[in-house]
Amino acid sequence: MADLKPLAPHLIGGNFLLHETDTQNVFTPEELSSDLRQMAETAGKFMEKEVLSQVEALEHQEPGLAVQAFKKAGQIGLLGGEVPEEYGGLGLGKVASVGVSEQLTRLGGFGVTCGAHSGIGTQPLVYFGTPEQKKKYLPRLASGEWMAAYCLSEPASGSDALAMRAKATLTSDGKSYVLNGTKMWISNAGWADLFTVFAKIDGQHVTAFLVERTTPGLSVGKEEHKLGIKTSSTRRVVLEDATVSKDQLLGEAGKGAYIAFNILNFGRFGLGAGAVGASKDLLRVAARYAGERSQFGKTIGSFGLIQQKLGHIAAKIYAAESAVYRTAAMIDAVMETGELMDSMNPAFPRGLDEFALECSIIKVACSETLDRAADETLQIHGGYGYTEEFPAARAYRDSRINRIFEGTNEINRLFIPGLLMRRSQRGRFPLMPAVAKIVKELFDLAAPEEFPDPLRSGRSLLANAKKVALFLSGAAYQKFGEKLIDQQEVLAGLSDLIIDIYLAESAVLRAQKHAGKADASGSHATLAAIAVNDAATRMENTARATLASWAEGDELKTQLGIVKRLLRWTPLNATALKRKVAQRLSEVASYPALLRA
């Protein structure tokens, strides 16, 4: 691979662990243009009129209804945002896609249909297709005339995708490939017109192929009887001597893994962005119900424990949303450089790969934020929440898949520290020099500074938390060496620490950037303070548990003392902060209104 060009520090994946980020280098939702806000509003109106008004029929899979809604979304430009203009799309970036994704996921199954199409279904062609392939398919995909699907998983290979058994054999005349195998859990399979299928040429070389639905030998199984996302189609895709011409090969023979995993980076980002939108909608539902339901002569929204739930959900959404927009803008900035990775032919944009770590963070954090929002929304509804009469039950079922989609959260937790180590070995990320510097200075490092402003204190704490993450990474590598890759519990602990740092820092940076008039209600500062306060406790507990998994005796006591000093934090009155958020929610009824000055 050719040497990569230098980028600004904040535009290097994972570099937030090594450097302090200036608030001016962080993009926030408050900076969205009026055009992008209008796009999101258009998507919201579409959802109200065409989707949510027919939710029962869609959930019971009334024939043709979901596809009809999908096509209408395409006709008004909601599916082609990231397709280049020359191929019928809008040519927009990640920042522009977030608001639309948030709206489309207000019904989980429909969000899956659109996300699987616009994301992992269409983007392999956008970034790896030939001009001829793009001209042939992208206009139809951007407009919603055709639907796309991504076929990677198999019955015997889920997380271990490269263990796939699907095979591709070149015909004797060298003009075509014959595909055989079965793909499983394929979103949109029942309705898709174009499938990106991964198979091994001669049983060895992973390669991607574009396969049309009408290809002889391609068939789909019956609809899976799923727990949730019932508006979507999920089936097996079966290939029995399905013959495709050689020009249907996508990218380069034997380089399908580059396509699969780089596209999954953006898939993970898109999933996280959608999860934030679904979480916001659930908070609206929960706050409204809490304001309407009376017990003991009062609305339940006036009760302390309900207020704690609402305030906690809002703070988690704030941190997740802040991280999503921060990451989206960084991806866009690197994409705009036009720099290409020459790992395969054709070369692909560096922006696809640069923030793989952050995309995994987004996927894990936002899917778990949505799970918490769904769980607490159901709890706030009490017995009614457990019935299908209210939206909480459906949302609870729909949310669960997100921790499995696009690589399970467990796989992503292993991926995060693993990626840092691999990039370090390749000279692409200075992990070990940073670790060595921290270890050398360890006993001289001061505890976090405390200020009257909790956000300044939070910045100081997070700066030390980064040092703790580096210290633990070095100590773990010293203990296990190359076998660290097998210590999944340790890797997951490091990952949880890194996730908390990125989410809490994103929240604090956003609140600091918009301090003053942009935060007249104080909601930004309050939500960020809750986020960093909650993270403080988790980070110390994570660090202690991770250390205890390999150290013992005096060594453990010494290292725990270092962690305790570096992560010292005087707890905020989170009870009062969450009450404040909940009380404002009772007045304004929605998350967006909560943040308006």
Q: Which amino acid is at 457?
A: S
More confident residue, 520 or 361: 361
Instruction: Indicate if the pLDDT at residue 525 is higher than 60.
Output: yes
Q: Which amino acid is at 42?
A: T
Query: Before 216, cis peptide (omega within 30)?
Result: no
What pLDDT does 422 receive? 94
What pLDDT does 310 receive? 98
Instruction: Indicate if the pLDDT at residue 69 is higher than 70.
Output: yes
Instruction: Indicate if the pLDDT at residue 89 is higher than 60.
Output: yes
Q: How far is CA 246 from CA 124, 255, 516, in A?
A: 17, 15, 60
Exactly one of 154, 354, 368, 406 is catalytic; name it. Answer: 406
- Cα(562)–Cα(558) distance, integer angstroms: 7
Residues 6+ apart with CB under 8 A from 500: 465, 535, 538, 539, 542
What pLDDT does 210 receive? 98
Q: By the 8 A CB rule, do 384 and 369 touch?
A: no
Residue bearing tokens 């990474």: 473
User: For 139-176, what is each residue's pLDDT tens digit?
Assistant: 999 999 999 999 999 999 888 888 999 999 999 999 99
Burial label for 473, CB within 10 Å (0-12, 13-18, 19+), is buried
What pLDDT does 346 receive? 74
Q: By the 8 A CB rule, do 474 and 503 touch?
A: no
Instruction: Indicate if the pLDDT at residue 119 is higher than 70.
Output: yes
Q: By the 8 A CB rule, do 226 and 61 touch?
A: no
User: For 403-427, what is each residue's pLDDT tens digit?
Assistant: 999 999 999 999 999 999 999 999 9
- In degrees and rounded to multiples of 5, residue 183 shows phi and psi of -105, 145
Instruction: Give the three-class secondary structure for 413.
Output: helix
State the chain's mean pLDDT as an integer. 96
Q: Tokens representing 250? A: 């996508």
What pLDDT does 111 receive? 98
SS (H, E, C) 445-471: CCCCCCCCCHHHHHHHHHHHHHHHHHH
Instruction: Give the three-class secondary structure for 151.
Output: strand
Calculate what percentage of the chain has a pLDDT beyond 70. Answer: 99
Q: By the 8 A CB rule, do 376 and 313 touch?
A: yes
Domains of the chain and any CATH numbers: 1-31+257-597 (1.20.140.10), 149-250 (2.40.110.10)
Pairing of strands 176-187, 234-245: antiparallel
Least confident of 183-187, 309-313, 500-504, 515-519: 515-519
What pLDDT does 212 receive? 98
Residue bearing tokens 């007045």: 587
Q: How far is CA 314 from CA 98, 298, 330, 402, in A?
A: 18, 22, 24, 19
- Cα(252)–Cα(318) distance, integer angstroms: 41
Q: What is the mean pLDDT of residues 329-354?
A: 91
- Smallest Cα–Cα separation from 176: which of 254, 255, 248? 248
User: For 244-265, what is each residue's pLDDT tens digit?
Assistant: 999 999 999 999 999 999 999 9
Sign of CA dihedral 497, 503, 506, 512: negative
Q: Is 406 labeled as catalytic in the residue annotation?
A: yes
Other Cβ atoms closer than 10 A to 219: 14
Q: What is the mean pLDDT of residues 464-492?
A: 95
Q: What is the mean pLDDT of residues 188-199?
A: 98
What pLDDT does 597 receive? 62
Q: What is the mean pLDDT of residues 575-589?
A: 96
User: For 535-556, what is each residue's pLDDT tens digit?
Assistant: 999 999 999 999 999 999 999 9
In this prediction the pTM is 0.97
Instruction: Indicate if the pLDDT at residue 1 is higher than 50.
Output: no
Helix 454-480 vs helix 553-566: crossing angle, to nearest 10: 160
H or E element at residue 341:
strand 340-341
Burial label for 24, CB within 10 Å (0-12, 13-18, 19+), is exposed
